[in-house]
């Protein structure tokens, strides 16, 4: 069962019709529906390409949040060997919104950190929809420190609507945890690379994505605030999220122009959720080439180059 987004409705109708025809034909051997069904397939495929070649910023937000989009764990399972999750912040608890641990990438030991959203009701609740509490950031800090001590590159997979706005999270210092995690990103002497695989939600994303290299999937987004939140503040109407998404310049393409993203990873036709294996392998290739790039940087320059990258950031706007 494909989950269709609202703008994919016409596509759903065509694909549904083709499906229906074929189902009818299965019950009746005399019927030849294949010509008609293939024509519909072709139409659907063209429509899909057309739709995804010019997604509006709001539609990109929808795609980035698509429930069937590959999540952190899918990337870890497919791209890494010997995945050994490490838990806990050593202070309060283990935050399941954040996954972290040791793994091998092409035989090379690395530290992986990422937000996991979950894929069904139960796992979404377990992972708190990818919204981390202070313990999640503190776990990440601990793992980044460990990676730094043992010379392991850190790979972060960012996919979060934002840090969790909860009572306990605030009491236990959500702001401080995010600030320290960002600070840690800037301190570690090992290469840090980050992939925005879905949603890069505000400070909750910065805490992992203050990296030497940041890549974004073609339909991922990265923003200071959700379009809905921005709309309700600036337009006083949360239904103006389309306008807000437009104004915020949160697409991978805009972020590349602004120098916040270093590269954009093309997604399969119709988005990563339609061909997860393909999307995951594209991310794998990007990790591999970014790691190689960073291997060229002398280790004693890793911190300095990361810092100067952020200090220079924003020196030009969209006009270049």
Partner 1 sequence: MNWITNYVRPRINSIFSRREIPENLWSKCDSCGTMLFHREISDNLNVCTNCGHHMNITPRDRFHALFDGGVFSEISVPEPVNDPLHFRDQKRYPERMRAAQKATGEKEAMLVARGEIGRTPIVAAAQDFTFMAGSMGMYVGNAIIAGIEEAVRLGRPFVLFSAAGGARMQEGILSLMQMPRSTVAIQMLREAGLPYIVVLTHPTTGGVTASYAMLGDVQIAEPGSLICFAGPRVIEQTIREKLPEGFQRAEYLLEHGMLDRVTDRRELREELIVILRMLMQLPPATWGDLPPPGPEELPEDGAADQVQAAPNPALEDAPRKE
Tell whether residue 307 is a contact of partner 1 (CB under 8 A): yes
Query: Whole-angstrom Cα distance, residue 107 to residue 211?
Result: 22
Q: Which is nearer to partner 1, 33 or 234 (CB)?
A: 234
Phi, psi at 266, each rounded to 5°? -60, 145
Tell whether residue 145 is a contact of partner 1 (CB under 8 A): no
Query: Going by C-beta distance under 8 Å and a sequence separation of 6 or more, which residues neighbour residue 162?
Result: 131, 201, 202, 203, 204, 205, 226
- Pick from 255, 172, 263: which is nearest to 206 by CA? 255
Report which DSSP code applies to 244.
H
Stretch that binds partner 1, among 59-67, 148-156, 167-175, 276-284 (CB under 8 A): 167-175
Q: Which is nearer to partner 1, 213 or 273 (CB)?
A: 213
Residue 162: left (phi > 0), alpha (psi -120 to 50), or beta?
A: left
Q: How far is the CB of 273 from partner 1 (least distance, A)?
A: 24
Tell whether residue 256 is a contact of partner 1 (CB under 8 A): no
Tell whether residue 255 is a contact of partner 1 (CB under 8 A): yes
Query: Which burial class, exposed, middle or buried, applies to 236 when counting CB atoms under 10 A from its CB (0-12, 13-18, 19+)?
Result: exposed
Q: How far is the CB of 15 from partner 1 (least distance, A)?
A: 35
Tell whether residue 317 is a contact of partner 1 (CB under 8 A): yes
Stretch that binds partner 1, among 14-22, 98-106, 172-180, 269-277 (CB under 8 A): 172-180
Q: Where are the alpha helices (DSSP H) in 54-127?
A: 57-64, 72-79, 121-126
Tell whether residue 250 is a contact of partner 1 (CB under 8 A): yes
Q: How far is the CB of 280 from partner 1 (least distance, A)?
A: 25
Polymer length of the chain:
320
Tell whether residue 4 is a contact of partner 1 (CB under 8 A): no
Query: Whole-angstrom Cα distance, residue 220 to residue 272?
Result: 10
Stretch that binds partner 1, among 4-12, 74-82, 115-123, 310-318 (CB under 8 A): 310-318
Query: Whole-angstrom Cα distance, residue 274 to residue 269?
Result: 7
Stretch that binds partner 1, among 41-49, 102-110, 205-213, 272-280 (CB under 8 A): 205-213
Tell whether residue 93 is a contact of partner 1 (CB under 8 A): no
Q: Which is nearer to partner 1, 16 or 229 (CB)?
A: 229
Phi, psi at 2, each rounded to 5°? -80, 140
Longest dimension (CA), the chain: 74
Q: Which is nearer to partner 1, 79 or 207 (CB)?
A: 207
3-state secondary structure of 273: helix
Interstrand relation of 263-265 and 213-217 (parallel, antiparallel or unpaired): parallel
The tokens for 188 are: 């570690």
Figure out which of the listed residues 247, 256, 275, 297 binds partner 1, where binding follows CB under 8 A.
Answer: 247
Tell whether residue 185 is a contact of partner 1 (CB under 8 A): yes
Q: Which is nearer to partner 1, 50 or 237 (CB)?
A: 237
Tell whether residue 179 is a contact of partner 1 (CB under 8 A): yes
Q: Which is nearer to partner 1, 14 or 132 (CB)?
A: 132
Angle at 166 between CA 164 and CA 172, to 5 degrees: 95
Tell whether residue 160 is a contact of partner 1 (CB under 8 A): no
Interacting residues toward partner 1 by CB under 8 A: 163-167, 169-176, 178-180, 182-183, 185-187, 202-203, 206-207, 210, 222-225, 230, 233-235, 243-244, 247-250, 254-255, 258, 260, 307, 310-311, 313-319
């Amino acid at each position: 069962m494909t989950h269709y987004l609202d703008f994919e409705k016409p596509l759903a109708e065509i694909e549904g019709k083709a499906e229906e025809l074929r189902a009818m034909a299965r019950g009746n051997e005399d019927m030849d529906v294949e010509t008609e069904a293939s024509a519909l397939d072709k139409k659907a495929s063209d429509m899909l390409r057309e739709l995804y070649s010019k997604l509006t910023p709001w539609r990109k937000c929808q795609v980035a949040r698509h429930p069937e989009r590959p999540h952190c764990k899918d990337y870890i399972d497919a791209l890494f060997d010997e995945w050994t999750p490490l838990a806990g912040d050593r202070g309060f608890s283990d935050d399941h919104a954040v996954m972290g641990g040791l793994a091998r990438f092409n035989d090379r030991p690395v530290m992986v950190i990422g937000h996991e959203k979950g894929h069904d009701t139960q796992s979404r609740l377990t992972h708190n929809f990818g919204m981390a509490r202070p313990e999640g950031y503190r776990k990440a800090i601990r793992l980044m420190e460990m990676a730094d001590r043992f010379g392991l590159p850190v790979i972060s997979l960012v996919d979060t609507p934002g840090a969790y706005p909860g009572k306990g999270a605030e009491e236990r210092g959500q702001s401080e945890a995010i600030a320290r995690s960002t600070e840690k990103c800037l301190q570690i002497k090992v290469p840090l690379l980050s992939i925005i695989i879905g949603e890069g939600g505000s400070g909750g994303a910065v805490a992992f994505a203050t990296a030497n290299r940041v890549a974004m999937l073609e339909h991922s987004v990265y923003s200071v605030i959700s379009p809905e939140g921005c709309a309700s503040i600036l337009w006083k109407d949360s239904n103006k999220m389309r306008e807000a998404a437009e104004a915020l310049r949160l697409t991978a393409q805009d972020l590349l122009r602004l120098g916040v993203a270093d590269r954009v990873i093309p997604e399969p036709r119709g988005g990563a959720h339609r061909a997860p294996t393909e999307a995951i392998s594209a991310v794998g290739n990007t990790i591999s080439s970014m790691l190689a790039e960073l291997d060229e940087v002398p280790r004693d320059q890793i911190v300095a180059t990361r810092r100067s990258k952020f200090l220079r950031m924003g020196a030009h706007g969209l006009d270049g």
